[in-house]
Structure 1
Amino acid sequence: MTDAGDEPPAETDAEWPVDLAGVTETVVTTRGPNELWNAAALGVFAGADEANAATATTWGNTRTRRNFHREGEGYVQFVDDPITFVNAALTIDEHDDPVLEHAAAWTRVAVERIDSGTENGTEWEQWRLEPLETTIKRETVPTISRGFGAVIEATVATSRLGVAGYDDAELRDRLAFFESVVERAGSPREQAALERVREHAEW
């Protein structure tokens, strides 16, 4: 018997709601054995060209990894709310519904494990993401926010504290810098999000 996430997903005509490039930071919801939807941060790597599917990598024995194996799918969501992202990245964040309130768009994806390995003692698995259906909930005029970017980078640094292969002192220096950016350039919502980050790290 194979896990649902080990079976190749069927190809569909569904597409991503945005043109993926580089790594796009998203929030993915996956259904757990308790029937609740677990939200977690997920970096989506664009394929090299149209013939190559987008991918994502899970690190460690996370709820997302286990749910990918069990369910074989999830909802990739494009959010612009910093608190939503911080909660997903740093807490156990479970919901009754798969689509989050602050998702501007979402794509239900089938997942297939295509590679795995170990780095600095942490197991990782790479997943192919195949869009099954997509909904755009709202369209906005894009803005560039240094504060929002700093919050995202702060969650990344926090998630690496205490992880083999990373220098905690260097990570805390980075967190102090990101805090200074949010203090100067962040909105009240972004400043509140950074306070959430502070609940999980000291610097």
Structure 2
Amino acid sequence: MEDIEDDADWPVVLSGVTESVVATLGPNDLWNVAALGLHAPEHDDRPAEAPVRARTWGRTRTRRNFRERGGGVVQFVADPRDFVAAAVTVREEETPVLDSADAWAAVDAERVAAGERGGTEWVDWHLRPTDAAVERTGVRTINRAFGAVVDATVAASRLDVESYDTAALLDRLRYFEDVVDRCGGPAEREAFATLTAASGWRERDRTE
């Protein structure tokens, strides 16, 4: 493991919107694990030295814990099962860093903006690393199913948002399921099964 000192930079290069998992400490002294998109400054047409931005949607545990604790631990995982568990289930751990994390960064979170879209409240946060580490390096292979699993979590999260077309979202989920069946390995298939059970999208599909 390569440790990075206090006032650290991010342990990975961020570009566009990088999908991550964040652990935030709740009032029960357990770490809530959730998915979090990290917006690189250049992606938002901001100066390269500007802080990374993240947006929380709704009255989530992450939003509450950022507000009350002032930060969390962002981590980068390549196991789709951990990503899905973070995105669509309530997962709590006694320690913040998952075993599957390739790298992590402890961050301060500063609220910088808030608003509403499609009936859902959002809050923007600037994230600044205070400590970080690279846990492992090496070649990580990918397949189309991994990307399908990530996109499926987004579609599933929008099923109860009135401003989104439910039929269109179900079409996407059927497509992603087909990609996982054709291209995925055991990890991707297990992750998609968890997403299906947690979201109940297939039952909705039968009634639409």
For 1:117, what is the secondary structure of its paired residue? Answer: strand
Structure 1 residue aligned with 2:184, among 183, 186, 199?
186
Partner of 1:170: 168
Q: Matches of 1:156 and 1:121 in 2, distance apart?
A: 17
Q: Matches of 2:94 and 2:29 in 1, distance apart?
A: 8
Q: Matches of 1:69 and 1:159 in 2, distance apart?
A: 22
Q: Matches of 2:56 and 2:12 in 1, distance apart?
A: 22
Q: Matches of 1:41 and 1:68 in 2, distance apart?
A: 14
Which amino acid in 2 is paired with 1:120? G
For 1:157, what is the secondary structure of its paired residue? Answer: helix
For 1:84, what is the secondary structure of its paired residue? Answer: helix
- The 8 Å contact of residues 119 and 161 in structure 2, kept in 1 or not, is answered as no
CA RMSD of the aligned region, Å? Answer: 1.0
| Percent of matched pairs sharing the same residue | 52
Q: CA deviation at 1:140?
A: 2.2
Q: Matches of 2:134 and 2:31 in 1, distance apart?
A: 20
Uncovered stretches (5+) of structure 1, i.e. residues with no partner = 1-11
Partner of 2:20: 26
Q: Matches of 1:13 and 1:110 in 2, distance apart?
A: 10
Q: Matches of 2:49 and 2:112 in 1, distance apart?
A: 16
Structure 2 residue aligned with 1:41, among 35, 39, 45?
35
Partner of 2:3: none
Partner of 1:73: 71
1:151-200 Cα shifts (integer Å, max 9, x gaps): 11111100110212111100000000001111111011101111111102
For 2:41, what is the secondary structure of its paired residue? Answer: coil
1:18-77 Cα shifts (integer Å, max 9, x gaps): 110000000000000000000000000001243211010001110000000000010001
Partner of 1:9: none
1:109-152 Cα shifts (integer Å, max 9, x gaps): 00000000011111100000001111110012143320100011
**TM-score normalised by the chain length of structure 1:** 0.92
Which amino acid in 2 is paired with 1:72? G
Q: Matches of 1:196 and 1:144 in 2, distance apart?
A: 20
Structure 1 residue aligned with 2:114, among 116, 126, 132?
116
Structure 1 residue aligned with 2:88, among 64, 80, 90?
90
Which amino acid in 1 is paired with 2:194? R
Partner of 1:139: 137
Which amino acid in 2 is paired with 1:16? W
Q: CA deviation at 1:101?
A: 1.2
Uncovered stretches (5+) of structure 2, i.e. residues with no partner = 1-5
Partner of 1:103: 101
**TM-score normalised by the chain length of structure 2:** 0.90
Q: Matches of 2:111 and 2:138 in 1, distance apart?
A: 34
